[in-house]
């Protein structure tokens, strides 16, 4: 309640974060896997005195650095922009809890960028041994920033002992941190493999292309074998209610997403084994792009599910998605919410409709739009006032992924009236509302 509410029309704030974050996550993971692929393959090429392979790596570095630095950095800043505006309270909490982790991450990121540029400009200018070392420095710093960010992301879903101890170590080394780090590291290898499948499809010389395609296919095989058991371990560390949500529970669409992403992963690995690894001579650019698109969809779906199963919390057990804490929800029961909010649209509430709308903005708009994504009006279409009021009385029981309603009786009534009026304007089949 300490920040202004930023309403994102039609798609809602959560979806906006997803639209910026998913492409970023995709490229950021590629940045790490690619960072291992390049120097490792370069080392191989030196050992085998393979000039053709070195030439391929030199030209791939250019594409790689462009994609990773420009796209990665722009979307990375975009994430800060969106999360700070959509979830200011949660962003503030994460900054407070993890201040030195963020600071370290920014240093790692700086080293990563500098190393990437030196690696790129260093082809043919640096001695091979130095160039290789720069490449590995790039990889290690990129992986360290994954290590750090992963600790913060997993904390949001499984804060673990931090809830009692408030120690940053407990927050960082939380229950799902290790399995998630392992899974994400495997994903970086797979994405590097996919990126190389695309860039190698341009190689003219056939023997070389087959060799690289096969090698890239291997980068997909390793995660294929190691990820399924790690996924089970990861799931086991989640809170019971989050696991319940992921496996269907009250939101079947999530189970559909989970199942689809497993099927798509199987397809990706199928293509890379039978296509790239076993029959590199038949592997083509369109197939490489298809694999990349499947991987992008899978990233989107899995990140989406990971965010969705955290509801009603933004930080599990500590802060609800609308910025209220469970403690505030208990203590402020029956008290006026708008009077607690530091920023409201109007200082005084003479008009009951405005009050209802303001309660919606403060308390519901972090998850609901009115008639766009997760729109409230279609959900309550045809409900009478008693039904809406009952829903508000038992919001957290109605659906486990909503926080309880907080506010005075007057505010609850105003919200009910306002929602009822708004729902009447929602186009839909005629309903006898008596
Ligand atoms: C943490 C996110 C979140 C918050 C905050 C939230 N909701 Fe929801 N709400 C949801 C989700 C997710 C659904 C399920 C939508 C669906 O089934 O399509 C839902 C469903 C509903 C439904 C339909 C329930 C049903 O069983 O049909 C109502 C009514 C509702 N919300 C009202 C509200 C109101 C009013 C507020 C604010 C006081 C609010 N919600 C705040 C996430 C939230």
**Ligand 1 centroid vs 60 CA: distance in angstroms?**
47
Structure tokens at 115: 């190393």
pLDDT score recorded for residue 5: 93
Q: Which residues of the chain have pLDDT under 70?
A: 346-349, 429-434
**Ligand 1 centroid vs 180 CA: distance in angstroms?**
29
Q: Which atom of ligand 1 is nearest to the CA of 415?
A: 35
pLDDT score recorded for residue 345: 75
202-249 pLDDT per residue, tens: 899 999 999 999 999 999 999 999 999 999 999 999 999 899 888 877
Ligand 1, atom 18, lies closest to the CA of 374
Q: What is the CA radius of gyration of the chain?
A: 25
Specify whether the CB–CB gap between 224 and 273 falls below 8 A.
yes
Q: How far apart are CA 82 and CA 369, in angstroms?
A: 17
Instruction: State if residue 254 touches ligand 1 by the CB under 6 angstroms criterion.
Output: no
Q: How far apart are CA 262 and CA 294, in angstroms?
A: 11
Instruction: State if residue 322 touches ligand 1 by the CB under 6 angstroms criterion.
Output: yes
pLDDT score recorded for residue 253: 87
Instruction: State if residue 380 touches ligand 1 by the CB under 6 angstroms criterion.
Output: yes
Specify whether the CB–CB gap between 266 and 293 falls below 8 A.
no
CA dist list (Å): 140 to 31, 49, 91, 194:
11, 26, 27, 21
Q: Length of the chain in residues, anyone?
A: 434
Q: How far apart are CA 210 and CA 208, in angstroms?
A: 5
Q: How far apart are the first and last CA of the chain?
A: 37
Instruction: State if residue 379 touches ligand 1 by the CB under 6 angstroms criterion.
Output: yes
Instruction: State if residue 368 touches ligand 1 by the CB under 6 angstroms criterion.
Output: yes
Ligand 1, atom 39, lies closest to the CA of 364
Other beta carbons less than 10 A from residue 32's beta carbon = 28
**Ligand 1 centroid vs 401 CA: distance in angstroms?**
8
pLDDT score recorded for residue 78: 96
For ligand 1, pick from 257, 363, 376 the residue to mutate: most ligand atoms within 8 Å of CB: 376
Q: Which residue do the tokens 């979307």 mark? A: 75
Long-range contacts formed by 247-255: CB under 8 A, 24+ apart: 249/400, 250/399, 250/400, 250/401, 251/308, 251/401, 254/305, 254/308, 254/309
Specify whether the CB–CB gap between 295 and 190 falls below 8 A.
yes
Q: How far apart are CA 102 and CA 21, in angstroms?
A: 17
Instruction: State if residue 401 touches ligand 1 by the CB under 6 angstroms criterion.
Output: yes
Structure tokens at 78: 């975009």
């Amino acid at each position: 309640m300490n920040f202004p509410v930023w309403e994102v029309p039609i798609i809602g704030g959560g979806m906006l974060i997803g639209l910026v974050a998913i492409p970023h996550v995709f490229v950021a993971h590629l940045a790490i896997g690619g960072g291992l692929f390049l120097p490792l393959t370069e080392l191989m090429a030196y050992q085998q005195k393979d000039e053709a392979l070195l030439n391929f790596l030199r030209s791939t570095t250019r594409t790689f650095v462009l994609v990773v630095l420009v796209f990665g950095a722009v979307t990375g800043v975009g994430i800060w922009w969106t999360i700070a505006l959509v979830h200011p309270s949660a962003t503030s909490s994460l900054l407070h809890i993890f201040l030195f982790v963020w600071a370290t991450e920014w240093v790692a990121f700086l080293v990563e960028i500098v190393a990437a540029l030196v690696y790129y400009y260093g082809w043919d200018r640096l001695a091979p041994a130095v160039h290789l070392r720069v490449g590995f420095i790039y990889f290690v710093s990129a992986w360290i920033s994954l290590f750090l960010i992963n600790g913060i992301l997993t904390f949001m879903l499984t804060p673990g002992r931090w809830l009692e101890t408030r120690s940053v170590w407990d927050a960082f080394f939380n229950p799902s941190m290790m399995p998630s780090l392992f899974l994400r590291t495997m994903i970086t290898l797979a994405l590097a493999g996919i990126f190389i499948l695309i860039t190698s499809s341009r190689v003219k010389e056939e023997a070389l292309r087959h060799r690289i395609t096969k090698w890239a296919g291997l980068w997909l095989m390793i995660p294929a074998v190691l990820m399924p058991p790690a996924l089970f371990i990861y799931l086991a560390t989640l809170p019971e209610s989050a696991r319940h949500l992921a496996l269907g529970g009250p939101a079947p669409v999530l189970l559909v997403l989970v199942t689809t992403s497993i099927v798509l992963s199987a397809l990706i690995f199928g293509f890379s084994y039978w296509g790239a690894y076993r029959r590199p001579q038949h592997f083509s650019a369109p197939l490489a792009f298809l694999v990349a698109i499947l991987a992008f969809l899978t990233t989107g779906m899995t990140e989406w599910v990971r965010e969705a199963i955290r509801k009603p919390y933004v930080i599990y057990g500590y802060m609800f998605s609308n910025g209220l804490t469970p403690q505030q929800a208990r203590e402020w029961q029956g008290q006026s919410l708008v009077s607690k909010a530091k920023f409201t649209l109007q200082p005084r509430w003479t008009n009951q409709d405005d009050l209802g709308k303001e309660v919606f903005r403060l308390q519901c708009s972090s998850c609901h739009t009115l008639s766009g994504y997760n729109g409230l009006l279609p959900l309550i279409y045809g409900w009478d006032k008693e039904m809406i009021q009952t829903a508000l009385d038992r919001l957290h029981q109605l659906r486990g992924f909503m926080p309880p309603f907080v506010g005075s009786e007057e505010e609850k009534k105003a919200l009910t009236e306002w929602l009822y009026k708004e729902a009447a304007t929602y186009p839909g089949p005629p309903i006898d509302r008596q």
